[in-house]
Amino acid sequence: MEFLKGFAAVTETSGFAAFFTQPDMHLNVIMILIGLVLLYLAIKMKFEPLLLIPIAIGCILVNLPLSEIGFLGSSEVIIKTLPVPSVLTPSMNPVTVNIAYTVTHHGGFLGVLFQSLTQNEILPIIMFLCLGALTDFSPLLARPVTFILGAAAQFGVFMALFLAIGLGFSPNEAAAIGIIGGADGPTAIFLATKMAPGLLGAIAVAAYSYMSLVPLILPPVIRTLTTEKERKVRMEALKPVSKTTKIFFPIIVTIVVGLILPSAIPLIGMLMAGNLIKESGVVERMSKMLQNELVNIATIFLGLTVGSTMVGSSFLQPQTIKIILLGLIAFAFGAAGGTLMGKLMYKLSGGKINPMIGAAGVSAVPMSARTVQIEGQREDPGNFLLMSAMGPNVAGVIGTAIAAGVFLALFG
């Protein structure tokens, strides 16, 4: 009998019982299924697995009822009324006093990580430091004109900004949504934590989902806006870039951007710092650490904490659907903007620039450049556009970070 009572008590406090007793649990079930879909896309389809796997795990964990692993810490002031002992007031009627004290409720593991590392922008900025060490700006430096293509690909960012405002989002929220078009996950997360923390989960999932879908999104845009003749253009091989140029580039960019747009320094400064560490050639151990151990640690914790924001009751809202659609529009228009600028440069150069490389300006390094390479070889198997496409590709990283700085200056 006692065993049955104990079993009943355990059953009543289990997650299974919570599915039937707590409100909105059907939303948690949906989010768990979404997490499983993300795992499928990451493991089976190999869509951005480095981040989709930890995001999916975080999503599933926080939607399991009663787990509180993603519970965010909070503080509250409690006021208690206490009687004053009669020995202190022998000749008076009973007296009471109000005592106020603060109680801190510590969050769950993922909640604490989110508050201390992601919400405070630490992880996104560390990701930019590592990204700088992983980036080779040689293709951009060998053909500086391709920076214009990376800038043109930011058209989708501003298009989504205005559309989001038209749909009722505040300028801050619209800016955070628009940056999805830059196809740069850390930048999207950085801006969302500053300007729209309530939308972080939806923005992060949209950004990384579309980054993983680059091979599906870019080709239709490219084929629609270019002709077969343009897609077959073979570009000249890039000239070698001196080590001195590679070292001075991050230093000059940091100083110039910092003076013009100080709000972009957290991103641009760390991106260029990581790149300088790599290109200096004198701190090889530090460079390898940024490219391996640190980026792996930052990636897994960034993914887990982003996934922890995807609680069913807050994530499954009409605005989430709007964000997903706006992200797709931003991404597609960004690729279109880069491609159209590529067509203009094709004409101005007398047919020497393949306009497809402009589509790589949406960042998503190096998947965008690889997609352009595949599209080029579809038309001409002997055409090698990868290194030419890497110029606007890495320029897009800088362009998105600068766009984020502009939004912070305007709306932050």
Looking at the structure, do residues 368 and 332 belong to the same domain, yes or no? yes
Mean pLDDT estimate for the chain = 86
pTM of the model: 0.84
Q: Give the residue numbers spanning the domain of 85.
A: 74-105
Residue 366 counted as domain residue: yes
Residue 101 counted as domain residue: yes
- What's the distance, Cα to Cα, between the start and end of the chain in Å? 63
Please state, in angstroms and rounded to a whole number, the distance separating the CA atoms of residues 71 and 112: 8
Looking at the structure, do residues 31 and 96 belong to the same domain, yes or no? no
pLDDT over threshold 90, residue 128 = yes
Phi, psi of 80 (to 5 degrees): -115, 140
Prior bond to 318 cis, omega within 30? no
Residue 293 counted as domain residue: yes
Looking at the structure, do residues 238 and 209 belong to the same domain, yes or no? yes
pLDDT over threshold 80, residue 256 = yes
Looking at the structure, do residues 171 and 35 belong to the same domain, yes or no? no
Residue 388 in contact with residue 234, Cβ under 8 Å? no
When computed from its CA atoms, the radius of gyration of the chain, rounded to whole angstroms, is: 26
Confidence of residue 8 (pLDDT cuts 50, 70, 90): low
Confidence of residue 1 (pLDDT cuts 50, 70, 90): low
Confidence of residue 51 (pLDDT cuts 50, 70, 90): confident
Q: How many domains does the chain have?
A: 3
**Mean local confidence (pLDDT), 78-102:** 54
pLDDT over threshold 50, residue 403 = yes
Please state, in angstroms and rounded to a whole number, the distance separating the CA atoms of residues 310 and 200: 9
Confidence of residue 101 (pLDDT cuts 50, 70, 90): very low
Better-predicted residue by pLDDT, 412 or 286: 286
Q: What is the pLDDT of residue 314?
A: 83
Q: What is the pLDDT of residue 102?
A: 46
- The pLDDT tens digits of the residues spanning 180-236 come to 888 788 899 899 988 988 888 888 888 877 887 788 889 999 999 999 999 999 999
Please state, in angstroms and rounded to a whole number, the distance separating the CA atoms of residues 318 and 316: 7
Q: Among the listed ranges 53-62, 196-205, 297-306, 321-330, which one has the minimum average pLDDT value?
A: 196-205
Looking at the structure, do residues 85 and 130 belong to the same domain, yes or no? no
Confidence of residue 247 (pLDDT cuts 50, 70, 90): very high
Residue 69 counted as domain residue: no
**Mean local confidence (pLDDT), 294-311:** 91
Looking at the structure, do residues 84 and 113 belong to the same domain, yes or no? no
| Residue-wise burial string across 240-255, b where 16 or more C-beta atoms lie within 10 A, e elsewhere | ebeeeebeebbeebbe
**Mean local confidence (pLDDT), 3-12:** 55
Q: What is the pLDDT of residue 103?
A: 44
Residue 68 counted as domain residue: no
Better-predicted residue by pLDDT, 374 or 3: 374
- The pLDDT tens digits of the residues spanning 143-186 come to 999 999 999 999 999 999 999 999 999 999 999 999 988 878 88
pLDDT over threshold 70, residue 100 = no
Looking at the structure, do residues 88 and 232 belong to the same domain, yes or no? no
